[in-house]
Every structure is written in structure tokens, then in C-alpha cells.
Chains A and B, each alone.
Chain A
Amino acid sequence: MTVSMRRRLKVFIFCSAVLGAVAVAGQNGDRIEFSAESTTTEFIEGGVIKRYSGDVAARSQDLLLRAEEAVYNSVRNEIRLYGDAMLQDSVRTLYADTLVYYDRRREALASGDVRGIEKARSFRAGQVRYLRDEHILHGSGGVTVRDDSIRSSLTGMALTFNDSTRNGWVVGMPSLVREDDDGSIITITAQDTIRIAREARTAELWNSVEVKKDSMTARSERALYEDIPEKVTLFGEPVIEYIMHGTGDEDDIPLRIVSEVTGDTVFVYLEERKLAAVEVAGNAVGTTVALDSTGAVYYRSVLESRSMRLDMTEDQVTGVVARGSARSYYMHAATISGREQFVNSAKGDTIRFFFDDGSITNMRIRGGSSGEASGKYLEYKPVRPDSVKSGEDEARR
């Protein structure tokens, strides 16, 4: 190797080392660029305090800070921003009255009317703590999160969101409001917590959960929403209440019809966020009461079984199956047109109801203490003292 070659090699090694060092220094984020209308610098024990005022901007890698005034403390390695403070990085933009940025641990504390904007999401909070290295955002003092991509808003007293896992928690009377494509609104509230797991595509809610959509209200102690399949599981004394308005089948009088389904656990199946089916496991009870304008019962039905499934299409019931020690009771009050009150009851292992245009057309009963049974759903009949028939009676006919 000649002297010239050695010299070139040394120059190359030196240049490579310098360029490498520059690249590493650039990645460390160990550099904050400031601009402002004015600055005052004061030397303190072990460092400086710099006060900036008027259109202050500070940049460090992908981070941009802006405010009317700012104070930089080199000992604490913090920047305090006052008045229309803003923090922007590649994930989100935060606006607040006051913002403190801790450069060493890459953490921001925003307070006073905090607003945040992300790609399709925006949020408000009284105070926000943003841990950039941990990719975690804590909001407190009353939070609202709006996600325009799914037309939803989430409110609560506090939230925690992880940018890496995209998981989130909202605590303190959380409430989720989501608007469907057809404009109908679903409202989900809980007393304690909503936990959203983005990867699992689930939302878990607990303590006094209430789900409201159109005329339906579901209540339970705990609920789990799974996006795939689109299902809501209600645990702990679940109740689904459905309120409809209709007219009497013969009299054409206005009726208020209240249906209620309860059991140990209730599964609500949705298709494109529309109610498709309800399944009840354990101590299933379904009741429907129709009241006229005076509050008098027009008809009442009670269905009890170990488990139950109710299928729906376009907000109309298309089929009901009650399995395991199933019992059905139906009472129709006397009508204005002269029909007398009648009662129809049945029991068996399985009772299946068939519907047409939302009305029961047929009922099949299978099994029972005396073997398999089936029967046809009874049309109106005058009530006779001895006319209460079981499924087995029907089967014998």
C-alpha cells in the first residue's frame, strides 16, 4: 500500500466515522431548535433558564412545540409553554392553555382545555399526559374522544390510550355514542370502565352497563363487544327491553308493547350493527306485555326455558326457540269487538314459534314428561275454565 493510498484510506475512515457520528447524533433527538420574538437567558446553578416570548417555536426531530411564551430550564431539561400552547409529532397534535415538555424523558403534560387531533380522531380533556417513548396518552378531568371514521364519540372522566397496541381505557362513567349509516344512534354507558382492545377488536365494559339503540335498551353488570363476530355478550343479571308501538290485531287500538328478555347470560348478535339475533343461556325468560292507552293489558306472553334464541330481520322477529323445560303462557284480553279473554299455555322440552310479518303463525312443541309433543298455535278462542291446555294435550289432538 502506497503512502497516498494509506492517506486516502485514513481520510475515508475519518469521514465515515464523522458521518456516522452525525447520523447517530441526529437520531438521539439531542437538539432543540428555538425561534421567538425575544428571549431572556439567566444563568443558574448548573445551567440556564431561557424565557422566550412572542410566537415561540421549538423543534426537535419530528416534534414541534409552539406557544406565546416559553421557559426552558436546562437543569430540569424541560420546556414550559404558556398561551395557545401546541405540541405536534408524527402521531398527534395537542393544543392546551399550558404545556410542559420534559425533553429527557420525552414526556408532555398539557393542561387547560386540552384538545388533540389525530388522523381520524380528535379528543378533549382537562389534562393530558403524553409519554412519547412509551407511546401512551393519559387524559383526565373529563375526556371526550371523537372518531369520525366510525362516527363515534367516547366520554368519561379519564382515559388511557396506547399508540403501539392501539388499546384504550376510559374510566369514570364512560359513555360511547356511535351513529349508524342509517342515522340511528347506539349509546353505551357504564359506571366504571370501557376497555378497548384494538387488535382483538373487542370492547369490554363493566358495572351497570346500559346499551340503548332506538327502542331497545340492554342492561347488565358487565358486557363484552366483539367485532368479529359482531356480538355483544351481557353478563350479570342481563335484561334486554324492547319497546314498540302497534295496534290491536282486531280492534285497531293503539298499543304500547314492551318485551323483556332476561337470563344468566345474553348474547346479542349484530349484522352491520343491526340486531340479528338474541341468545339467552341459563334461566331464560322472555315476556311481552301489550298495554292499551288506558294502561290495561291487551295481551301478555311469558316464555321460560333453560336457553332461548330469538332471530330478527329488519327489526322484526322471525323465529323464537326455547330449549330445555320450556314453558309458554299467552293471555289475550277480551276485545272491543266482542271476543272473550283467552289463555293459551304450553310446555315441553323445546318450543319453537314461527312468525310471519312479525306475528306468530305457528308453534311447535317437542319433548316433555310424556314424550315428544307438537302442536299448532291456537288462534283466538273464548276462555273456558277447563280450556288451559298443555303441549301434550295439543299433541294428543
Chain B
Amino acid sequence: MRNGRPVFRAAALAAVLLVPAVSGEDSADIRVEADHTETRTLPDSSLVKEYSGNVLIRTEGMEARAGRAVFETGPGVFRLFGAPHSGRVEILLFEEDGRERVRFSACKGALFLREGAADSAYARGSVLVNWPARKARASADTVRWSKAGRKIWAGGTVSLSLPGITERGREFEARDDLKWYTMREITGTIRPRERNQGK
């Protein structure tokens, strides 16, 4: 029950869909929920599935929310577009214990799948990155994430803030849990007292 009314939308429309045959592997690791779905076959016989309305994609250690998602089986990629209410795409990565590791919020995004799981992700357009455990936030034009090496790259000018530290720079590279990061052409401010209080 929500607000005293039965929640029937998800039950009625959002069939829980399993992504069919992702790279020929067992697709059970990727679950997609959406208000609506439509499947098309392209001339090269590859399958295109389009999901719309509160799209939720779940895979091991990752969750993506979008207003619309297009899945192309050939390259094994989900193309994500902003949700109607906020106009934003959200990609969340989780720790093994379920805590949120990092959250990307952007105008558009993409998830690249491999061996039944998200292998890398891409977000562009006013990207906001949030690391809740570090109390850190960053903004960038584009962000890429790769599962191999657990790395994040951000393009364009990156602004980063964490307790006691604010920085701007280019060519941001970090571990996805922000254990470390590097930037070029940086300017920034450190407030030692805040830094130590926010540790």
C-alpha cells in the first residue's frame, strides 16, 4: 500500500523482464523492470529491446535507473536516457555487503555487458558522482567506469568536493570507491580543520 492506494502499476505493467541472451550467456544475472517494453529486430537480425517508464536494471553489484533504456543484443549494451520526472539517469555501484559505493547521475548513460554482468558504464551530460562513504561528490562532463581495475575516468573539467577539500581539474582518474584519485591542471582548497573533522 502506498498513500492508502494499492500499488498496481508495477504489478500491472512492469513485468519483470529478463534480458534475453546476453552475449550468449545465461542472462539471469541481469534483471530489468520497466513500465513498458517493445522488441524490434534489426536488418542484421540483432535484437533491440526498448524499455520505457521507470526503468530499473539490476545486475551483480550494480543498479541503473532511467526513463528509457534501449538494449542492443549485438554489442550487449544498454543505452539509458533520462527518467521523465527528473530527466536523469542514475547508475549505482554497490559493495559486496550491499552498501552504496558510488552513484552516477547524468543526462544519458550506457551499460556495457559482458559475461552476464555489467563490464563498464558510461555517463554524459552534467554528470554528478557521489561517494556516500567518503562524503565526496564530483561533477564532470563525462564519466566512464570499468569493472576491470575498478576505475573511473572523468572527462572535461572536473569539480570535486570532499570534507575539507574542494578541487577543480582535468583528466580525473580514480578507483571506483575513491580510495585514490588523480587529476591534472588542478586548483583547489584544503581546509585542514574540516578535513580532520570529516575523516
Contact = CB atoms under 8 A, between A and B. Distances in A.
Contacts of A46: 196, 199
A22 to B, nearest CB: 13
Contact of B187 (A35, A72, A74, A77): A35
B182 A47 contact: no
Given A38-B183, A40-B181, A40-B182, A47 B195 contact: yes
Nearest to B180: A42
B19 interface: no
Contacts of B182: 38-41
A75 B164 CA distance: 12
A297 interface: no
B5 to A, nearest CB: 41
Nearest to B168: A35
Interface string B178-199: 1111111111111111111001
Contacts of A41: 165, 180-182
Interface residues of B, number: 27
7 contacts: A28-B193, A34-B189, A36-B186, A39-B184, A39-B188, A40-B181, A77-B196
A314 interface: no
Contact of B190 (A36, A40, A42, A72): A72
A50 to B, nearest CB: 8
Contacts of B125: none
Contact of A74 (B169, B185, B192): B192
A43 B134 contact: yes
Given A39-B167, A42-B180, 19 more contacts: A30-B192, A31-B189, A32-B190, A32-B191, A34-B187, A34-B189, A34-B190, A37-B184, A38-B169, A40-B181, A42-B179, A46-B196, A46-B199, A47-B199, A48-B165, A50-B190, A52-B186, A74-B195, A103-B192
A33 interface: yes
Contacts of B185: 37-38
B194 to A, nearest CB: 8
Given A39-B167, A43-B180, A74-B196, A30 B186 contact: no
Given A38-B182, A39-B167, A43-B179, A104 B192 contact: yes
Contact of B192 (A36, A40, A77): A77
Interface residues of A, number: 26
Interface string B156-186: 0000001011010101000000111111111
Contacts of A35: 186-188
Nearest to B185: A37
A305 B20 CA distance: 120
A38 B184 contact: yes
Contacts of A30: 191-194
Contacts of A50: 165, 190
Nearest to A30: B193
Contacts of A77: 192, 196
Interface of A: 28, 30-43, 46-48, 50, 52, 72, 74-75, 77, 103-104
Given A38-B183, A39-B167, A40-B182, A31 B188 contact: no
Nearest to B184: A38
A306 B178 CA distance: 85
A74 B193 CA distance: 9
Contacts of A32: 189-192
Nearest to B169: A39
Contacts of B184: 37-39
Nearest to A41: B181
A123 B183 CA distance: 37
A261 B89 CA distance: 96
A31 B186 contact: no
Interface in B6-33: none
A23 B6 CA distance: 55
Contacts of B190: 31-34, 50, 72, 74
B186 A43 contact: no
Q: From B162, B167, B199, name the one whose CB has the most chain A CB atoms within 10 angstroms.
A: B199
A38 B186 contact: yes
Contacts of A36: 186
A46 B197 CA distance: 9
Contacts of B169: 38-39
Contacts of A52: 186
